[in-house]
Amino acid sequence: MTPPKAGAALGAVVRAPRAVLREAERRLARSLTLGAVAHAPGAMLRAPTRFRSIRTKLLLGFGVLLALGALNIGVYYVGARQRQRVFGELREAMDRQTLITRVSNRLEDQKRFVDVALVAAGGEELPMPTADERRRFALSVDSIPKLLDSMLALVPKPAQRDSLLELRGKARTLAVAWKRYYETPAADPGKVLAQIEAEPLAQELLSADLPRIAEAERNRLARARERFVRSDRTSSRVTWFSFVLSALLGGLLAVIISRDVLRAIGALKSGVTKIGAGDLDHRIPILTRDELGDVAATFNDMMARLQQRQQEIEAQRQVSESLLLNILPRQIADELSEKGKVDAKYYADATILFADFVGFTKLSEGLSVDHMVRLLDQVFTEFDYIVRDYRLEKLKTIGDAYLCVGGLTREGSSHPIDAVLAAFAMVHAVEESAAEEGLPLAVRVGIHTGPVAAGVVGIEKFAFDVWGDTVNFASRLEAASEPNRINISSGTYLRVKDFFDCEYRGQIETKEERAFDMYFVTGLHPELHGAGCPPPGFAERYQIYFERPPVSFPPVLQRA
């Protein structure tokens, strides 16, 4: 189990990038809020002046609707005035038609009255009419010119008044003649003269003048009625057309404004959804140059800055993770990131590799400190590359000893073969360094396969380590090895004998004076030699045993 203080320290290292991210997000949100407040008054002042702003569009739409309403009212008013004027003409024509009919009827009635009076007289002396009778006769006869006067009041055009004036003059002359005839005694010769004067004039009025004017008035009435019907139909059509056109324009304007607004809102909603899902690379398309477009542009700017901060935080996180991976295997580091602690684990099958320089302490006495450190750094750095290439895990270095382990990643059972391959590469790296430096530099390697326990220990400068007899026995194998030789246990031998040629050393005693079977790995199995790196035989057998190709292969082993 991880000690509490060590677990807390590890958790702090893992949680540090998250805390940095949250702090960056808080600062970004605060800066964006302050910037929005600082720019809000200017934006409010600029919004009404921009032609494509939502406020301007709404004001423009409202103005257009008001203009369309005023247009409809104007069209209706003009149509009503037109109908009223035409209806006035129709009513005037109907009144004139009624008046001319009354004149004709009144004239015919008076003509019949006079004719009846002539027949009744028969040349005999009739009593003179009374004053009341003369008054009623005069009122009846004078009503005809008065009716024509009323009709003249309805005729504004001079061309139409001439015929009516002539007719009125004749009616007045006829009225005077009839009144003179009616009031003259029968024995008076003036009565006959009045009759002679009135009769032709009455006949002319009844047979020629009145029918002509009545026909003209009937035609005028028909034309007025036709104009009224046409005007009413035209006015109704124009009114409906204006209403429909206003409705279409208003609807089109509403569709255009709502389309722009809804498209912009839809883009904002979709963009926020994608960004909320973690897609910080997404940018909201700016579909309009209005307030919603400003919101989208501001949001994109915010995302760009947040993405930049996120990249900075991610870079810091990767640095922290790389530092953590230099201390812990990835599986352990992942567990620490998720749980904040590391539980101790038991691995039933793992391979421990110990490598130690031969006589390095005595050799270092003749080297300067910087030369010694540089030499160790050079060799151990090469060892680190080798361990990574063969999917082993470096545990630590102890002085001039190097400890690594395979099988902790649970990626299969090939770790004994991979450890032997890595050991050949390490021996070759030491031989090359010895040749370059001109020093009698050699390394002993011991490898053993068995169960181990693993965990994180320490409070400060914590480390991942393994324990158990497997680790101890690997150390004994290294101590019992020879320079630039790879010494393995019988357990490891059983796992690698199908891939490597091994030399049985017999029972070798350790410092505890206990004897164990040990083997030197001398090279590749004779059946697996061939051209290629790795040789085809080795690659095929590796694929058959572990269902995957070998991760790497040391060229020195191919030449051995």
47-84: pLDDT as tens digits: 444 556 777 777 777 788 888 888 888 888 888 888 88
Identify whether the C-beta of residue 546 lies closer than 8 Å to the C-beta of residue 414: yes
Q: How far apart are CA 427 and CA 8, in angstroms?
A: 40
DSSP character string of 441-478:
--EEEEEEEEEEEEEEE-SSS-EEEEESHHHHHHHHHH
Higher pLDDT, 335 or 104: 104
With beta carbons less than 8 A apart as the criterion, state whether 209 and 167 touch: yes
Q: What is the 3-state secondary structure (H, E, C) of 265-289?
A: HHHHHHHHHHHHCCCCCCCCCCCCC
The residue-averaged pLDDT of 452-462 equals: 75
337 contacts: CB under 8 Å, gap ≥ 6: 14
Q: Which two tokens stand for residue 101?
A: 């009919």
Residue 36: per-residue pLDDT: 42
Q: Is the pLDDT of residue 552 over 60?
A: yes
Can you tell me the mean pLDDT for 420-437? Answer: 93
Look up the CATH architecture of domain 332-559: 2-Layer Sandwich (3.30)
Q: What percent of the chain has pLDDT over 90?
A: 24
Q: Which residues contact 146 (CB under 8 A, 6 or more apart)?
A: none
Q: Is 240 helix (H, G, I), strand (E, B) or coil?
A: helix
Closest to 497 (Cα-Cα) out of 440, 423, 443, 416: 416
> How much is the pLDDT for 9?
43
Identify the CATH assignment for 72-238 out of 1.20.58, 1.10.3470, 1.10.287, 1.20.120.
1.20.120
Residue 12 structure tokens:
């702090």
Distance CA 133, CA 129 (A): 6
pLDDT tens for each residue of 467-522? 999 999 999 999 999 999 999 999 999 999 999 999 999 998 888 778 899 999 99
* Comparison of pLDDT for 14 and 292, the residue scoring more: 292
Nearest to 419 by CA among 396, 391, 451: 391
Average pLDDT, the chain: 79
pLDDT attached to residue 14: 40
- Count of H helices and E strands in the chain? 15, 8
Both ends of the chain: CA-CA distance in Å?
45
Q: Is the dihedral angle over the CA atoms 528, 530, 531, 536 positive or is it negative?
A: negative
Burial of 336: CB neighbours in 10 Å, binned 0-12, 13-18, 19+: buried
Q: Which of 281-285, 413-417, 511-515 has the highest mean pLDDT?
A: 413-417
Q: Residue 424 burial (CB < 10 Å; 0-12/13-18/19+)?
A: buried
* pLDDT at residue 47 in the model: 41
161 or 215, higher pLDDT: 215
Helix H or strand E segment including 13: helix 4-46
Q: What integer pLDDT is reported at residue 382 of this predicted model?
A: 94
Residue 499 has what DSSP assignment? T
Which pLDDT value is given to residue 445? 96
pLDDT at 12: 45
pLDDT tens digit string along 263-279? 778 777 777 787 777 77
Average pLDDT rounded to a whole number, residues 376-393: 93
For residue 230, the number of C-alpha atoms closer than 13 Å in the C-beta half-sphere is 6
Q: What per-residue confidence (pLDDT) applies to 549?
A: 92
Of 144-148, 399-403, 416-420, 529-533, highest mean pLDDT:
416-420
Within 8 A by CB and 6+ apart from 497, the residues are 525
3-state DSSP call for residue 122? coil
Confidence of residue 328 (pLDDT cuts 50, 70, 90): low
Q: Which of 115-124, 276-285, 402-411 comes out lowest in average pLDDT?
A: 115-124
Considering only CA atoms, which of 317, 316, 319, 312 is closest in space to residue 25? 312
Q: Is the peptide bond before 534 cis (omega within 30 degrees of 0)?
A: yes
Q: CB–CB of 14/324 below 8 Å?
A: yes
Q: In this model, does residue 443 exceed pLDDT 90?
A: yes
Q: Over pLDDT 70: what percentage of the chain?
A: 80
Mean pLDDT, residues 412-427: 94
pLDDT at 99 over 80: yes
pLDDT tens sequence across 225-258: 888 888 888 888 888 888 888 888 888 877 777 7
* Range with lowest mean pLDDT among 24-28, 168-172, 197-201, 295-299: 24-28
Chain region(s) in the chain for CATH 3.30.70.1230: 332-559
Digit-coded pLDDT (tens) for 116-128: 766 555 545 556 6
Q: Residue 330's pLDDT band (boundaries 50, 70, 90)?
A: low
What's the average model confidence in pLDDT over 20-29?
48
Residues 6+ apart with CB under 8 A from 290: 50, 52, 53, 54, 57, 260, 264
Say what the pLDDT of residue 126 is: 55
More confident residue, 405 or 275: 405
The pLDDT confidence band at residue 400, using thresholds 50, 70 and 90, is: confident
3-state secondary structure of 128: coil
Structure-token match 């490597």, residue found: 500
pTM tops 0.95, yes or no:
no
Residue 384: which H helix or E strand, with range? helix 369-389
Indicate the pLDDT class of residue 297, thresholds 50, 70 and 90: confident
Specify the domain boundaries for CATH 1.20.120 within the chain.
72-238
Q: Is the Cα dihedral 471, 477, 480, 483 positive or negative?
A: negative
CA distances from residue 551 to 387, 419, 543 in whole angstroms, order as listed: 11, 12, 11
